[in-house]
Amino acid sequence: MSWLLRPLTEQARALRSGEVTSAGLIEEALRRIAHLDGRVGAFLRLTPDTARAAAAAADQRRARDGAAAPDLCGIPVGVKDVLCVEGVETTAGSRILRGFVPPYTATAVRRLTEAGAVLVGHCNCDEFAMGSSTENSAHRVTHNPHGLDRVPGGSSGGSAAAVAAGLVTCSLGTDTGGSIRQPAALCGVVGFKPTYGRVSRYGLIAFASSLDQVGPFTRTVGDCALVYRAIAGHDPRDATSSRRDVEDPLPGLAGGVEGLRLGVPREYVEAGLEEGVRRAFEAACDRLAAQGARLEPVSIPSTRFALAAYYVIAPAEASSNLARMDGLRFGPGAPAAATVREAYDRARHDGFGPEVRRRIMLGTYALSSGYYDAYYRRAQQVRTLVAADLARVFEEVDAILAPTSPTVAFPIGSRVADPLAMYQSDVLTVPFSLAGVPAISVPIDQADGLPVGLQVAAPAFADARCLRVAAALEAVQGVAEPPPLARERVA
């Protein structure tokens, strides 16, 4: 079996013992991408020369530092195309940023590379992270490795698919309303959205600044904890970055769930779940109960308003954030335009795809005079209500269990013409985003041959507890098998 299909912790042990080298891992990653990614479409651009140089440096670092070298040293990683990397074109999946080469690197990416991780390239995503299927990318459609006719989820679908297919060991995505957790569930990998403010947003091309959060995709919960530990922590370059100390999640991963109170919101199991998803979720809950967890029914009444509030707040913030994308300072622009106004109009119309234009118009409308109170202010009041409901529930239980997605991966093209159906993909993830609390998706089973994920959420800054419950579930559930495509022999 390919080393890239094994847990990060196994790869780190092999690197430490000399059984493999980082240079060898990177060559294996590049071979696998060449063999498989024409069908999957996980990557937009690769950085093979810098990856080989970084791998050589990682091998030298391990030879010098021995056991003191970080676990991530020499590990192949991918990053979502909304995270800036100095000297590497970064487009947020959009035509309007074609040719944009950042002069700086996102803090989360920099912290990975400082730990010795080797960047292989940028992963595909929905344009400006707006979507639930990675069909909105201006560059290509990403396919789910478990079924190439199915979506990988979104907006971080390329990052999830890259890990599921064994193209890299781990990857970074971003989660605004579910864009890490939903593709993790659909691709059968682990995906973690930390507490808002726990991971720096510096160098992230913003979608909705009060919601965006960077987090990892990995094959196991333990690997996820390692990556999270490397990227979390205060960053003075991000005004929303928390100064609270980061609790190391690794010591508690083996703590189990005996005696923990785990809430199951009735609104989440009544939210139009596919029958296969419902059965898998109930069976996973039973396994946790058998390990000594106390499952308690809870209610989050504001859940039914959360999706509507999110699709006012997020487009409003997108409208503000994307006002800077005018084609005049970066991107291809409209060089033949006769006036500045014409250049501005043409650059935005030609540069933005239909979903981004839709959300900009929705957000601009919600913020406009005469409608601000009726829409944006009311949506923010609902957000406060959702956060209050969750805070009340977390006084009664230690963590919350819920399905991650109401469905398994749906066919490519089946929801493109129906935005409301597409938006429903986020119905179970959005409430935790609005409240800013940590949540992780763990693969639990399959339905109709496609992966199903369970979501664990915990109170704000209880990220370690969130990972502990997820690890207990994985311990009794087992690590999800990679898809057949990923197990193909690669010469």
* pLDDT above 80 for 491: no
* pLDDT above 70 for 203: yes
341 falls in which pLDDT band (50, 70, 90)?
confident
pLDDT digits (tens, 9 = 90+) for 407-430: 999 999 999 999 999 999 999 999
Residues in CB range of 12: below 8 A, 6 or more apart: 71, 72, 73, 75
Per-chain mean pLDDT for the chain: 96
State the pLDDT at residue 332.
81
CB atoms within 10 A of CB 380: 16
* pLDDT above 70 for 37: yes
Flag the least confident range among 16-25, 316-325, 329-338, 473-482. 329-338
| Residue type (1 letter), 160 | A
327 falls in which pLDDT band (50, 70, 90)?
confident
pLDDT digits (tens, 9 = 90+) for 253-301: 999 999 999 999 999 987 689 999 999 999 999 999 999 999 999 999 9
Does residue 179 have an active-site annotation?
yes
State the pLDDT at residue 47.
98
* pLDDT above 80 for 138: yes
Helices (H), 232-353: 266-269, 275-290, 303-321, 340-351
Q: Which of 94, 155, 171, 425 is catalytic?
A: 155
Q: Which of 2, 22, 80, 193 is catalytic?
A: 80
Buried b (16+ CB within 10 A) or exposed e, 19-36: ebbbbbbbbbbbebbeeb
152 falls in which pLDDT band (50, 70, 90)?
very high
Inter-residue contact 445 to 280 (CB < 8 Å):
yes
Query: Domain limits of the chain?
Result: 3-257+465-487, 303-385
HEC secondary structure over 259-282: CCEEEEEHHHHCCCCCHHHHHHHH
Rounded CA separation 436/427 (Å): 16
pLDDT digits (tens, 9 = 90+) for 437-485: 999 999 999 999 999 999 999 999 999 999 999 999 999 999 999 999 9
Q: What is the DSSP string of 56-116?
A: HHHHHHHHHHGGGS-TTTT-EEEEETTB-BTTB---TT-GGGTT---SS--HHHHHHHHTT
State the pLDDT at residue 400.
98
What architecture (CATH level 2) is domain 3-257+465-487? Alpha-Beta Complex (3.90)
Rounded CA separation 156/125 (Å): 5
State the pLDDT at residue 477.
93
Does residue 94 have an active-site annotation?
no
* pLDDT above 70 for 42: yes
Summarize the confidence of residues 137-158 as an average pLDDT: 98
* Residue 173: its H or E element: strand 170-175
Does residue 155 have an active-site annotation?
yes
pLDDT digits (tens, 9 = 90+) for 220-259: 999 999 999 999 999 999 999 999 999 999 999 999 999 9
Inter-residue contact 181 to 423 (CB < 8 Å):
no
107 falls in which pLDDT band (50, 70, 90)?
very high
Strand partners, 193: 439
Inter-residue contact 62 to 80 (CB < 8 Å):
no
* Residue 218: its H or E element: strand 213-218
Scanning the structure block, which residue is given the tokens 């010795």?
A: 116
Closest CA to 326 of 356, 292, 349: 349
> In the Cβ-directed half-sphere of 383, how many Cα atoms lie within 13 Å?
21
* pLDDT above 80 for 13: yes
Q: Please report the sign of the dihedral spanned by the C-alpha atoms of residue 173, residue 83, residue 98, residue 320.
A: positive
Radius of gyration of the chain (CA): 21
